[in-house]
Each structure stands twice: as structure tokens, then as C-alpha cells.
Chains A and B, each alone.
Chain A
Amino acid sequence: MLLKLDNVSVQFNERKILDRLDLSVARGEFVVIIGDNGAGKSTLFNVIAGQENPTSGRVVRNFLKITRVMQDPRVGTLGNMTVKENLAFAYKRESRRGWRPCINKDRISMFREKLKILNMNLEDKLNDTVQTLSGGQRQALAFAMAVLVDYDIILLDEVTAALNPESASNLMELINRTVRIDQKTCLMITHNPAHEKYGDRVLKLENGRLYDAGPIKKVK
């Protein structure tokens, strides 16, 4: 198992958000997580990423590199910096940040390639400040930043929520391709029933626990 949550509970001021929750995820799996607003999905991701310590229970992480796209693109990007600086920042996530200029020709052309496949017209906006992008573009940039360098597991928190239906399914296709080709492990939260089909299994978070949400139509 790449990731295992054992009897994990999280409590905020006497309120149990996660209640003795179990979850195991195998390497290469794509798990979709659904659930009502406030059910605790983002909290679950915080626990997995180690940003929130569970009140009780055990989290086993058999991976080294985790990457995450936050629910709020303002949290996932640096608003006052340019698009290329944001990418340069993400590019050094797993390595030492040295004294070399953060922008150079090689990086620019690599960033441009990465943005082109997003199909969001971001490749022409490398020099724009991120604040001036639209919410959807900013969300797409956050995704590009999350997958820019190698990772073992990726957590996606409603990445398509801010996008129009067409861009949303474009990005979903791209996510599917990126994750499947590299055989990465992926956990994705979504409120969009149409996107449940991308998962190997769908889990519903309810009353602090994860339940199997039944069989799904597979895409290939």
C-alpha cells in the first residue's frame, strides 16, 4: 500500500469531522472522493499531506513526494508574481533552491511547452502577473505547477470547479492522461458526477467515514 489511514479521527472544537476513518490506496490507483460541502474532504487531504495532525489514528505514507492542487487557486499560486516565476518556484519544489537566476531560456521554453498542453492560452501569458489571470486560468496554472516536477502521489481538490464545462473536461482529460501515462497515484475530490468515471473507484465521505459509492463506468 502506498498510503494507509488507520482509524483516523479529526476533531475541531468537539466536532468530529473525520471519525475513525480507514483508507488504503495502492500505487497507481486513481481514487475519486465525493461528499457534501463540509463533509471533511479537504480536511482528509490535509491529513494525508501532513498539514493537519489527526486527533487519533495512524497515517502510513509509503511515498516520498506528494503534490497537491488546493481547492482555492489563490492558495495554490503566488498572486503577485508572474506566471513564469510561479512555474520556476514550483520547478524547485523537490530540489535545493540555489543562487542561480530563476528564469533562463531553457526554463522558459520548457514552461511554454507545459502550458501549451493545458490549452488555456497560458503560454502567451508567461510575463503576466498571476493576479490578472482569470480564476480558471489560475486553477489550471496551479495544476501545471503541481505536476511540473516528479511526484509519487497527487491530491486534486476540485480542480475543475472554476472552469466552464468545456475547459473542465479538457483539463480532466489532461489530468487523466498525465496521471495514467506516468502511472501516478491520484486522489481527486469532485462535485461533478461526470468526472467520477475517471476513477478506479469512487468513495463517498459521509459522517466522517468513507463508503464505497458503487461501481462506475470505466473509461479507457
Chain B
Amino acid sequence: MALGNEISSCIALGLLQGIIGTALFLTLRILNFTDLTCEGSFVLGSCVSSILLLRGCNVYISIIAALFAGGLAGLSTGVLNIFFKVKDILAGILIAFMLYSVNLRVLDVPNITLPENVSFGGIYVFCFGIICVLGYLLTTDWGLAFRSVGQNPTLAVTSGVSVKKITLIGLALSNALIGLSGSLFSINQGFCDIGSGTGLLIVGLASVVIGERVLPFKSFYLKILGCFCGAVLYRLFICIALNFDLLKLRPSDINMITGLLILVFMSSKIITRRRRITCC
């Protein structure tokens, strides 16, 4: 029974992390924008929805508020990058850095516990919805324009695509998803902590990288599903590794394991690609 509980909580966490993976997939892989706002917008989403819940707000409204808050954070990164010509990496780091103060203002204390009666069972529905909506969006005419911006901005501009607008929309969308994930995370865990965003970027990246290996398909539905699968697999892997007494691992070893995992998956991609080239 304990194991079953552990696994189901692993999967729930994995799905939340999969939302982050999907968001990073949008910026890193499709927009070709190295967005590091993630750790800030996650906590922002978490704080905004927690404080609303604490004041007795409806769960759905708190989630939507988190969505908007995250989107706003992404938009700020985009504005820094586009209108103030700050490099993408630095813009994200700056906003995430500044968000720390904002988050503390919102929450007022470093951490809070949510009321007992708050619960939300719609994580699966949300994830399914995200896969369907994004998968469809990316294959529309608008989606083509969206993808062209990351691949070939010069051609995008000459083909009448507004690169600025799409970058802004993409960043807002991505960080809105991360905010959503943050909000669902605190509801799921029953608490909100100002430091809960640390390391999320790498964890999200792990989901993307593992997902690309387990579902290496062209379809965007499958690519996004891959982000979720990657995240769940990652969670299960960490869970097993920590519960495997022989290894004598501590929770603090997670960073090492995650790093190695990413390296293994990234290099296996290179190795298989090389083999394919040499054999034909």
C-alpha cells in the first residue's frame, strides 16, 4: 500500500513537472529562446494561488490567477529582451531574481500551509488538455509562424510574421504554464514555500531531454506527451534510486543523479546519431 501511494504521488509530481517540461520545450526548443524565468514564475504562481486560497478564494480562480501571474512574468522577460535588448538568458535571470522580492511581498512570510479542505483532482485533465491544445496549435497556420520564429527569424520577418509579437506570446504562454504548475504543486502538497523553485529549471530540462528520447517522433502531440512521460519517468527513477537501500543514497544526492541522467540522455542522442551516419 505504501509503495502504491509512493508511486501515485510520483506520477502526480511528474505530471506537474511535465507541465514545466512542456513550457521549457516551447521556449528552448521551439522559440529557441533560453528562458530562465522558470524558477521565479513557478514560485510566483504558487504564491499567488496559495494566498488567494488562504483568503478563502475558489480553487479554480486561484489557479487562473496563477496562470496570469506566470504569464505576466514571462511577458516581462520578453519586454526586457525585445524592447531593452537584454540578452535572453540575462533577461530571464534578472526577472527570476527580481521575482524573489515580489514573491515574498505576495506571501509575506517564507512559507504557509494551505487550509486542509483545499484539494484539486483535475491534474490529469489539465495535462491532457495542455497536450491537445498545444499539439493542435502548433500545427495550425499560426503554429507554423510560431515555429518559424525560432528556426529562421529572417525568413519569418520577410514572410510577414511579427517576430516580436510571437516571442512575447510564447514567453507569456510558457510562463503561464509554469505558474499553473506552481499553483497545482502547492495545492497538491498543501503548502507553499518561497524556495520551492530551486533546481526546477534542470528538472524541467531533464523532462524534455528524456521525453525526446522515449518518444522521438515528429508529431507535436507526441513531443509534448514526451515531456510528460519524461517527467514521470524521471520522478519514478529518482524515487526508485532513493528507496533502493543498497545504494545508500541521500536526498541531497538528487542533484548529482539528475545531472548524470541528463548527460546520459543527451550523449546517447549524439552516440546513436553518429552511429546512424557511419553505417550508411
Contacts and interface: CB of A to CB of B under 8 A. Distances in A.
B158 A85 contact: no
B159 A90 contact: yes
Interface stretch (A7-15, A73-81, A201-209): A73-81
Interface in B143-162: 143-145, 147-148, 151-152, 154-155, 157-161
Interface in A24-59: 49, 51
B142 to A, nearest CB: 5
A64 to B, nearest CB: 12
Interface SS, A side: loop
Contacts of A80: 147, 151
Interface of B: 136-137, 139-145, 147-148, 151-152, 154-155, 157-161, 218
Interface of A: 49, 51, 68, 70, 75-82, 85, 88-90, 92-94, 97-103
A94 B155 contact: no
B141 A97 contact: yes
In the A-B complex, list the 6 residue pairs whose CB atoms are closest, starting with the nearest.
Answer: A97-B141, A89-B144, A97-B142, A97-B145, A93-B159, A102-B144
Contact of A100 (B140, B151, B218): B140
Given A89-B159, A98-B141, A79 B151 contact: yes
B151 A81 contact: yes
Given A75-B154, A94-B160, A89 B148 contact: yes
15 contacts: A77-B152, A78-B147, A78-B152, A80-B151, A81-B148, A85-B144, A88-B141, A89-B148, A89-B159, A93-B159, A97-B141, A99-B142, A102-B139, A102-B141, A102-B143
B155 A78 contact: yes
Contacts of A92: 141, 144-145, 159
Contacts of A75: 152, 154-155
A81 B160 contact: no
Given A98-B140, A98-B141, A101-B139, 18 more contacts: A51-B157, A51-B158, A70-B154, A75-B152, A76-B155, A78-B148, A79-B152, A80-B147, A80-B151, A81-B147, A89-B159, A90-B159, A92-B159, A94-B160, A98-B142, A99-B142, A100-B141, A101-B140
A75 B154 CA distance: 7
Contacts of B159: 89-90, 92-93
